[in-house]
Structure 1
Amino acid sequence: MKNQKPHRKFFPVFPVAIVLALLSLALVLLPSPLRSVEANSTYFDLSTGNLTLNLTSGTTNLITSNDNWTAVSSVEGYCGDGLTSTFGVDPQTVLTAEFPSSALPSSSDTCIAANKGNPSAYNAGGLAEFDSGTYLAFGFQGNVQSRAPYMVFYVNTTGRSNIRIAFDVTDIDGGSNNAVSQFAVQYRVGESGNFTNLPAGYIADATDPNVAGRVTSVNILLPPAINNQPQVQIRIITTDAAAPDGTSSPDEWLGVNNLRIGNFGTTAASVSVSGRVLTPGGRGIARASITMWDDQGNARNSISNPFGFYSFDDVPAGRTYIFTIASRRYIFNQPSQVLNVDNAYDSLNFFTSSK
């Protein structure tokens, strides 16, 4: 009997390059996390109460480090680098999403500068937490690097209806910048597709030139489409602004604070107050700024359209209001008017001086 050679097992030998390529493919196919550790996209259950975002002297340092939103429930901010490519774009028309789902955007990480003070001395753009100084707010400022800064709020409206969003937009920049600072509110149901603009949330210009302090309050009812939905995203957004003459200009900082999303409203019946801004000859004046002050010192702002029309909706009836007007080009023969609002009023008109 012949001696048998021991049985040997042979394993195929692959070139090193092929092995490395296979390993790389395996890593790509592994499931990736939905969010980086710097983000917070948990959907807030509105059946437990209202989602709020407030910066006060007792809630400073919510943003502990740059671009880190983990301490802020159900909200993220982004610089909007790729949403538009130029300045002076109406944010109401910027409806695409940087990210198609709840996955981290491929071209833009979360964005915010932490623990800033004087907005007039800080011009980096994007988003910033101003948690010291005169104005406490989450700041928005567009520029070449941050064409459309925005914040997204994640809410679960299951079992809920009549959802509102309310917040204040404050001109927090008293420096030399002078821009037409627009602001918009948008929403989408689910985590794909474009956002839908909400015209009632639009602010044509939330700033005054070279002076801070103007407050524009937004309080709007969200559409029935968001009712009883497990995933709703609400976006507030600005864009890289233009100067009043339409040229490129350094943006002013807009500050957002006192935000809430949920079931709330006015305690009294609400009506609308509207009118026109006119020359003595009856021609409409565009872009005049009308401010409505209530008896507690709260202010809301409206900008006249190209035909001079303006309006305030959801005005609580049974109260007295002061309406003032300002324009960069005109003076008015009666720049302030007092109105007792019991019912809807549609003829609160302002006329420019004939001089």
Structure 2
Amino acid sequence: MRGPELPGGRSTCASRPASPRRSDRSGVPRRLCTRHPAHLTGVFVRVLLDQRQLHANVRWYHDAVRAHGLTLRAHVKGHRLAQVTSHQLASGACGIVAQTAREAVHHATETGVRDVVIARPSTEQWRLPVYAAAARALDARGVRTTVQVTSRDAVAVLAAEAARAGVRLGVRLEVDVGADRGLPATEVPGAAREIASSAALRLDGVSGYYSPVDSFAATRWAHGARSAARVLVEVAGHVRNAGIRCPVVSMGGTVNGLVASGVPGVTEIAAGAYALADATVAAATGCAPALLVEGGVVDGDLEEAAADLLRACGNDWDHETTATTPELVPVRQRLSRETATVQLVPAHICPVLMRARFVDVVTHEGREPTSRWRPVLLPEVEP
């Protein structure tokens, strides 16, 4: 799987094996766990997490961000596991990003995190009273809460809801820097003035996320991410020049973060996929995947339960590649008929954790799982 170009070539994770996992005669990589597991409801599928590799990935990425003097905020949608969140916090993460208020409260309850940002690609106004109510509950427990907004209209509504809830709520303004979401850069200073004029709100800063739109852009990912980070820094400068405090300039995304860390003026990286390292992150950075989907194979076809876990794991620039082998070779053809099971790396990690009921945790290669963790998905339902 070809990854995006990064400055100076790939930034290789020190923990990545010097050579690929050995393969059997059929060419299929050896499994992480060799004992055949019990079939569940007649269909074999399980999600395996290598805890040792998880710890190595977290250590490597946090060190890479800290080397530039930046803070790291862990996005929990990259794993949806409180156990991973706890490890990220213990490894120096300044707080978390969650997609819903319910998930923010859950991770605060389970991990003791004291700084949360609630962020979605778009800010539907029906969510704003939910955010304000959650902020009140979190504030009572000493948790600092910030909401990321993607439209100027949301600012006035959020101010009213925060005042009604009796909280002073942090706000991050997401800037459209290439992912077709967020405020246009020209609207940010005006939105910042509205926040500064509200007694119920405080401006936390600006944020942005870059995503390649096609395969060509994916090969120039570093260029796009660097340009996006520079736009964020410039926009924050305009806000400050207007006399408004803008402490945080946050770039989202694991690959984006490696590039943006070197852009002067960026203060924070908000990333999640680095911990488990899907095939896209692994190809881009050289870090080894910590999560595999293991499924049964019948007549060369992946069984439906495993295929369903991986079905939505393509990227915007490559919908066809939903998984690779552990050696990052894309799987687009039928598998060997001689193979009973296969382990695959999802091209994009988030859809797997939205569908998986459990994750079996392995501490050493070749051994059986030592524990079972449950991903938590807590969506908000529009009333």
Report the TM-score, using the length of structure 1 for normalisation.
Answer: 0.21
More helix by share: 2
Report the TM-score, using the length of structure 2 for normalisation.
Answer: 0.20
More strand by share: 1
